[in-house]
Amino acid sequence: MRLTHFGHSAFRFETGRSVVLVDPFLQGNPHYKGSLDDAIRGTTHIALTHGHSDHVGDTIAIAEQTGAKVVGTFELVSWLAGKGVKAIEPANTGGTVAFDDFSVTLTQAFHSSAAVSENGQTTYLGMPNGLVFHFSDGPTVYDMGDTDIFGDMALINELHQPKVGLVPIGDRLTMGAAVAALACRRYFQFETVIPIHYGTMPILDQSPDKFREAMEGEAAKIRLPKVGEAIEL
């Protein structure tokens, strides 16, 4: 299984015959300098953690161009269907959607989820989520989404035993570095930890340095893929 990080919380997974984009914030993402076409080539599925614009990103344009199925909480994908997305896979917290090469389970996350229009009108888009991916040809990946720490992370580990964690560390809008490190060390036995959701906005922590320090003896698990370059997992 191949993983490509586009910066912020945007990822691409290549597994079997499937190409999955997660929270595809590409255009307007200051970390990603490549083309949209390169990032989305062959996309079969899009999975979303919640409805904020830096996570929904280019979903509508990508779905129109590729015909990808969009997976997310019921309110969010229903709203996207109203915007013209034709193939949706609605789910909700605790539910699993299975495909040929992978499955994705929606977990809880402590955050919010809404779309804000240009005139300031807010549309509620359901509960935010984390995403657990079970791949046919790779390790189980837990994308925490935008969240604070919570005790039921222990149950997520018990149920899914993820080996790869995509962990928000930027503070202000999610948990910060020290709390994120505590979540990793207390609740999981990750083999690989990829910090996300930092450095893309002035109000976020700009580097993973504090997270690396807070991981203490487990700092060697941290991996920082170059933006736009695929790595094997």
Domain with residues 2-225, CATH architecture:
4-Layer Sandwich (3.60)
pTM given for the model: 0.98
SS (H, E, C) the chain: CEEEECCCCCEEEEECCEEEEECCCCCCCCCCCCCHHHHHCCCCEEECCCCCHHHHCCHHHHHHHHCCEEEEEHHHHHHHHHCCCCCEEEECCCCEEECCCEEEEEEECCCCCEEECCCCCEEECCCCEEEEEEECCCCCEEECCCCCCCCCHHHHHHHHCCCEEEEECCCCCCCCHHHHHHHHHHHCCCCEEEEECCCCCCCCCCCCHHHHHHCHHHHHHECCCCCCCEEEC
Q: Does the structure show a pLDDT above 90 at 80?
A: yes
Average pLDDT on 10-32 reads 98
27-40 mean pLDDT = 96
What is the model's pLDDT at position 118?
Answer: 85
Q: What is the mean pLDDT of residues 52-69?
A: 98
